[in-house]
């Protein structure tokens, strides 16, 4: 049975939410040129277009992963709307915005989605800043566990703890310290 365009797009979104490489590549293949044309035709470069497309894909990924996102338009329309808002904002930040705007794509309202995306970006930046100020050995210990996916036994051997339980206790103390640094900055 042949799928409708909307069914195909919903399948692509579900694939994107699962980190399915084929779905991500298909969305990229179908829509990158549109976003590139938007950026390049409005004072941007090919590098700018890649950055904006990547950011728009992150917004779409976050929406797809939320579980509450209902696709009410084509993926192309959603990505175009997000990319346009992101590009306009970047042009305004760089004082490069001109009244001449070459706009040929259809759009949907995405302001709220971008606010959520920007809030998360700020929180990631704050977390990165907090990790940088955590100090050693906590910084390396948490990176070993969360980013390098090392087991507590491996961490115990690497950091010289007598056993995995001691390493686990130290990880907990480091997490509490990180949490304290993060939230002291978060409230500001």
pLDDT of residue 157: 94
Phi, psi of 175 (to 5 degrees): -65, -40
pLDDT digits (tens, 9 = 90+) for 1-39: 556 777 888 899 999 999 999 999 999 999 999 999 999
pLDDT of residue 98: 66
Query: Are the C-beta atoms of residues 24 and 15 closer than 8 Å to each other?
Result: yes
**In sequence order, what are the residues at sequence separation of 6 or more whose Cβ sits closer than 8 angstroms to the Cβ of residue 131?**
139, 142, 143, 178
| b/e map 138-171, b = 16+ CB within 10 Å | bbbbbebbeeeebebeebbeebebeeeeebeebb
pLDDT digits (tens, 9 = 90+) for 59-114: 999 989 988 888 778 899 999 999 999 999 898 888 776 666 667 667 777 777 78
**In sequence order, what are the residues at sequence separation of 6 or more whose Cβ sits closer than 8 angstroms to the Cβ of residue 175?**
142
pLDDT digits (tens, 9 = 90+) for 122-159: 888 888 889 888 889 999 999 999 989 999 999 999 99
CA distances from 16 to 6, 100, 111, 147, 173 (A): 15, 34, 21, 22, 36
Average pLDDT over residues 168-180: 93
């Amino acid at each position: 049975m042949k799928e409708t365009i909307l069914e195909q797009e919903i399948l692509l979104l579900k694939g994107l939410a699962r980190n399915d490489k084929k779905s991500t590549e298909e969305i990229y293949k179908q829509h990158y040129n549109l976003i590139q044309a938007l950026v390049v035709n409005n004072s941007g470069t090919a590098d700018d277009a890649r950055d904006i497309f990547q950011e728009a894909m992150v917004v779409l990924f976050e929406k797809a992963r939320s579980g509450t996102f209902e696709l009410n338009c084509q993926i192309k329309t959603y990505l175009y709307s997000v990319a346009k808002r992101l590009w306009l904002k970047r042009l305004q930040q760089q004082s490069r915005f001109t009244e001449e705007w070459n706009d040929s794509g259809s759009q949907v309202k995405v302001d709220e989605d971008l606010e959520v995306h920007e809030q998360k970006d700020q929180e990631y930046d704050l977390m990165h800043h907090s990790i940088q100020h955590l100090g050693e050995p906590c910084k390396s210990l948490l990176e070993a566990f969360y980013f390098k996916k090392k087991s507590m036994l491996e961490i115990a051997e690497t950091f010289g703890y007598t056993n995995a339980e001691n390493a686990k206790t130290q990880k907990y103390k480091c997490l509490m310290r990180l949490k304290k640094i993060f939230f002291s900055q978060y409230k500001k």
